[in-house]
């Protein structure tokens, strides 16, 4: 049962100094410190339950997202939780369409990341308070601006249809988990030696799908792709990720030169905003058998709608922290189903794996009912800081067993990594000053 009045929202700037080892490095983000704006909401209910949420960031700028969370907090603090989730669509729109705040978005960039952090915490708490009725899920979606692609009635029919075989798919997931691919082997800043060792280890652990970062230097890319393809053999899957490095024609030319390594997809070949550009690249690369993947920086459902309408992608990569939480991701899962495009979520970062596993399991069990061409990203970093970390078995995400959205971080981790006053940062900062 939904209960309590929200009495407090706290937000913390948590940063991990990952740039020192080049974890997470790619052609555009050369020195990321994986970070999060971490939100905790409390109610006055006697159950002691709290809601934990976060949005992922790369270090600098986390303080800006924290500032935005504080600006949005007026919409949630001092309200009955029942009032929030009881008419979740209305609440979603209050957050995203505040008459003054929407100007600095709308529904994009910093304010939308802040919206995601808050809503992720709401979902975490709600899920702990009660099980979800899939029917009720529809009432969480803001269909504004997408009714030309998906109406509420169509969405209802899809979810109803999705009930067929649901029990079998649940059992299948509990037994085998959801297929994953790894990005941990081939960050751009890793040496060839490091790359080889990581491939050997990953193969031993049962991984069959591998992603390689490209886009900084063509001869380098050729050498690294060759190396990885040799390591993993002809039957395992290879994906490429350029992190928005190229212009449209440049992307076509560059990727054509990597075609011999048989990549399944090229991810983020150009600006995440360039729907028509992606469509052009898609057309040009189709004869080479290379698909287009994008979405981790696709900023809202209106953009995803157009990517689908324009046939600009073959693999849709939702992000649990850039879109407006479960609410907006649901609308994207349903649109992907309608356009028959597989969803292959973006994960890694801080907590993204923990969050997105819920979405992709729901997608399989209740929406897509298919594993064809589908897999979820996995990166082997920073899970130790979470109270309910993901469980990976034989390169698959095993369904989480605890109630909630798996977002709670360990208190000690937050204390140590709080920026700039946590122990880790105090040490680093004083080290720099020496």
- Least distance in angstroms from the C-beta of 37 to its own copies: 10
User: Among residues 31 and 87, whose Cβ is nearest to its own copies?
Assistant: 31
Matching residue, tokens 């798996």: 406
- Least distance in angstroms from the C-beta of 56 to its own copies: 8
Catalytic, out of 23, 112, 211, 213: 213
Q: Is 303 in the site for its own copies (CB under 8 A)?
A: yes
- Least distance in angstroms from the C-beta of 272 to its own copies: 7
Question: Residues in contact with its own copies, total (CB under 8 A)?
Answer: 63
- What are the residues whose beta carbons fall under 8 Å from the beta carbon of 350, sequence distance 6 or more? 14, 16, 34, 35, 36, 54, 56, 382, 385
- Rounded to the nearest angstrom, the gap between the alpha carbon of residue 398 and the centroid of all alpha carbons in its chain is 17
Q: Is 429 in the site for its own copies (CB under 8 A)?
A: no
Q: Is 113 in the site for its own copies (CB under 8 A)?
A: yes
Matching residue, tokens 């000690």: 412
| Ramachandran quadrant class, 59 (left: phi over 0; alpha: psi -120 to 50; beta: rest) | left
Task: State the pairing for strand pair 291-294/315-316.
Answer: parallel
Catalytic (active site) residue 112: no
Assess contact for 293 and 251: CB atoms under 8 A.
no
Q: How far apart are CA 47 and CA 49, in angstroms?
A: 5
What DSSP string describes 234-246? TTSEEEEE-TT--
Q: Is 80 in the site for its own copies (CB under 8 A)?
A: no
Contact set for its own copies, span 275-294 (CB under 8 A):
275-277, 280
- Least distance in angstroms from the C-beta of 305 to its own copies: 8
Assess contact for 81 and 121: CB atoms under 8 A.
no
How far, CA to CA in Å, does 26 sit from each of 23, 132, 245, 342? 9, 38, 9, 25
Q: Is 202 in the site for its own copies (CB under 8 A)?
A: no
Assess contact for 312 and 276: CB atoms under 8 A.
yes
* 69-87 as b/e: b if 16+ CB within 10 A: bebbbebbeebebeebbee
Contact set for its own copies, span 226-245 (CB under 8 A):
244
Contact set for its own copies, span 119-148 (CB under 8 A):
143-148
What is the total residue count of the chain? 434
The encoded tokens of residue 11 equal 């937000």
What DSSP string describes 389-401? --EEETTEEEPP-
Peptide bond into 333 cis (omega under 30): no
Q: Is 103 in the site for its own copies (CB under 8 A)?
A: yes
Q: Is 247 in the site for its own copies (CB under 8 A)?
A: yes
Task: State which of residues 112, 211, 224, 314 lies at the interface with its own copies (CB under 8 A).
Answer: 112
Catalytic (active site) residue 213: yes
Q: Which of 146, 148, 128 is nearest to 1 (CA)?
A: 128
User: Among residues 104 and 174, whose Cβ is nearest to its own copies?
Assistant: 104
Matching residue, tokens 């700037």: 13
What is the contact mask toward its own copies in residues 176 to 195, using x (rule: CB under 8 A)?
--------------------
User: Among residues 300 and 325, whose Cβ is nearest to its own copies?
Assistant: 300
Q: Is 102 in the site for its own copies (CB under 8 A)?
A: yes
- Least distance in angstroms from the C-beta of 24 to its own copies: 10
Stretch that binds its own copies, among 111-119, 333-341, 357-365, 403-411 (CB under 8 A): 111-119
Stretch that binds its own copies, among 30-38, 153-161, 414-422, 424-432 (CB under 8 A): 30-38
Q: Is 306 in the site for its own copies (CB under 8 A)?
A: yes
Q: Is 310 in the site for its own copies (CB under 8 A)?
A: yes
Q: Is 71 in the site for its own copies (CB under 8 A)?
A: yes
DSSP alpha helix (H) spans, 130-191: 134-137, 152-161, 166-176
Q: Is 99 in the site for its own copies (CB under 8 A)?
A: yes
Catalytic, out of 305, 337, 346, 385: 346
User: Among residues 168 and 247, whose Cβ is nearest to its own copies?
Assistant: 247
DSSP alpha helix (H) spans, 45-165: 62-72, 81-86, 88-96, 109-129, 134-137, 152-161
Matching residue, tokens 């704006």: 37
List, by residue number, the catalytic residues. Answer: 213, 346
Q: Which residues sit at the interface with its own copies, rule CB under 8 A?
A: 28-33, 57-61, 63-65, 67-68, 71, 97-113, 143-148, 244, 247-250, 270-277, 280, 297, 299-300, 302-303, 305-306, 309-310
């Amino acid at each position: 049962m939904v209960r309590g009045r929200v009495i407090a929202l706290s937000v913390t700037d948590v940063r991990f100094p990952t740039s020192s080892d080049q974890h997470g490095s790619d052609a555009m983000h050369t020195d990321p410190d994986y970070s999060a704006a971490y939100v905790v909401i409390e109610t006055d209910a006697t159950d002691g339950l709290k809601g934990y949420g976060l949005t992922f960031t790369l270090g600098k700028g986390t303080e800006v997202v924290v500032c935005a969370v504080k600006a949005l907090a007026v919409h949630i603090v001092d309200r009955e939780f029942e009032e929030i989730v009881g008419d979740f669509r209305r609440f979603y729109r209050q957050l995203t369409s505040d008459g003054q705040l929407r100007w600095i978005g709308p529904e994009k960039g910093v304010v939308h990341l802040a919206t995601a952090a808050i809503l992720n915490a709401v979902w975490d708490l709600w899920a702990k308070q009660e099980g979800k009725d899939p029917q009720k899920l529809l009432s969480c979606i803001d269909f504004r601006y997408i009714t030309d692609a998906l109406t509420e009635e169509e969405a209802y029919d899809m979810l109803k249809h999705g009930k067929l075989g649901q029990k079998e798919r649940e059992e299948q997931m509990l037994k085998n988990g959801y297929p994953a691919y790894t990005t941990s082997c081939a960050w751009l800043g890793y040496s060839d030696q490091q790359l080889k060792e990581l491939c050997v280890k990953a193969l031993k652990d049962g991984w069959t799908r591998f992603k390689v970062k490209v886009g900084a230097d063509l001869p380098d890319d050729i050498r690294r792709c060759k190396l990885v393809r040799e390591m993993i053999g002809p039957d395992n899957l290879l994906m490429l990720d350029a992190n928005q490095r190229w212009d449209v024609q440049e992307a076509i030319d560059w990727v054509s030169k990597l075609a011999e390594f048989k990549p399944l997809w090229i991810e983020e070949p150009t600006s995440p905003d360039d729907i028509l550009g992606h469509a052009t690249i898609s057309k040009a690369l189709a004869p080479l058998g290379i698909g287009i993947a994008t979405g981790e920086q696709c900023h809202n459902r209106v953009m995803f709608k157009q990517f689908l309408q324009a046939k600009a992608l073959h693999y849709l990569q939702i992000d649990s922290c850039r879109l407006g939480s479960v609410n907006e991701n649901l609308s994207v899962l349903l649109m992907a189903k309608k356009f028959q495009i597989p969803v292959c979520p973006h994960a890694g970062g801080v907590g993204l794996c923990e969050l997105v596993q819920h979405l992709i399991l729901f997608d399989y069990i209740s929406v897509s009912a298919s594993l064809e061409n589908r897999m979820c990203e996995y990166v082997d970093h920073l899970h130790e800081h979470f109270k309910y970390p993901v469980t990976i078995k034989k390169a698959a995400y095993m369904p989480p067993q605890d109630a909630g959205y798996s977002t709670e971080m360990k208190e000690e981790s937050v204390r140590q990594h709080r920026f700039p006053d946590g122990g880790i940062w105090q040490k680093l900062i004083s080290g720099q000053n020496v």
